[in-house]
Amino acid sequence: MPPAPLVNLRGVDKVYSNGVVALEGVDLAIREGEFVTLLGPSGCGKSTVLRLIAGLGERSAGTIEWSSTQHEIGFVFQDPTLMPWATVFGNIYLPLRVRGVNKAQARPRVERAMEQVGLAGFGNAYPRELSGGMRMRVSIARALVAEPKVLLMDEPFAALDEITRFKLNDDLLQLWAKQRWTVIFVTHSVFESVYLSTRILVMRSRPGRVSSEISLPEKREPSFRTSAAYAEQCRTVSARLAEAMA
Ligand code: ADP
């Protein structure tokens, strides 16, 4: 028998207090080590799914089951939301500080997280001194410092220029290949979803639900971006997205 999925959503509905039916009957199962992307138009409920998986907010119906009780989660938002008065080190240290880890104990963990995202040596810099891409790296390091096994990412690169975005995509893939996290990633970019994922869940809106899924081979090299196989897969996924939006 295949192992139980890491997290399993069955018949999940979400109705917000203003009456908006954000999700209806969402079924999805994520296995350990997958890089799954939720792809769909703005407003189809991608962020709502992610927040419910993170335990932020109550579902209105359905079940969300984890295969283990130990599932440290890291959450990366589109906006890096850094504390402007704190250094890079201070911002990354925050999740450990709120757990009562003192600075000396935290230092090697913060430094490791900084190294993972290419921020070694930037510990004393302030957010205002950094580019958008670097600020996003700080935000990712802050999610990694608690050593999560599951990384939830809500359009983390949407506000970045294309070159920075491509670089962060590649760095994220390299880290994922090494660390073997489970990643659940939200985007509305077909190109990003095909480049990053092992599986894409296409969502439709009103009400939000999963309309189809596409499994992709693991390839993971920058040269993939300009390959015919990539273009072909983007075409397939675009067609599925168009169906979902029809
Ligand atoms: P996506 O991430 O795909 O853009 P969201 O999950 O943010 O979609 O939103 C799904 C729907 O739920 C949208 O119609 C949005 O306006 C609505 N919505 C999201 N958050 C709230 C909220 N806190 N209160 C009321 N409606 C919300």
Q: Which atom of ligand 1 is nearest to the CA of 18?
A: 25
- Longest CA–CA span in the chain (Å) reads 56
- Record the tokens describing residue 200, joined without a space: 């894409």
pTM: 0.93
Q: Is the CB of 46 under 6 A from ligand 1?
A: yes
Spatial CA neighbour of 209 closest among 33, 6, 19, 41: 41
CA distance 245 to 234: 16
- pLDDT score of 44 more than 80: yes
- pLDDT score of 65 more than 90: yes
Q: Which atom of ligand 1 is nearest to the CA of 208?
A: 10
- In the prediction, which pLDDT does 2 show? 66
Average pLDDT over residues 102-122: 94
* Segment 72-108, tens digit of pLDDT: 899 999 888 999 999 999 999 999 999 999 999 999 9
Q: Which atom of ligand 1 is nearest to the CA of 41?
A: 3
Helices 103-116 + 132-144 axis angle, to 10: 130
Mutate to test the pocket of ligand 1, among 20, 46, 153 (most ligand atoms within 8 A of CB): 20
For residue 215, give the H/E element and its range: strand 209-215
Q: CA–CA distance from 167 to each of 2, 85, 170 (Å)?
A: 35, 27, 5
CA distance 168 to 177: 14
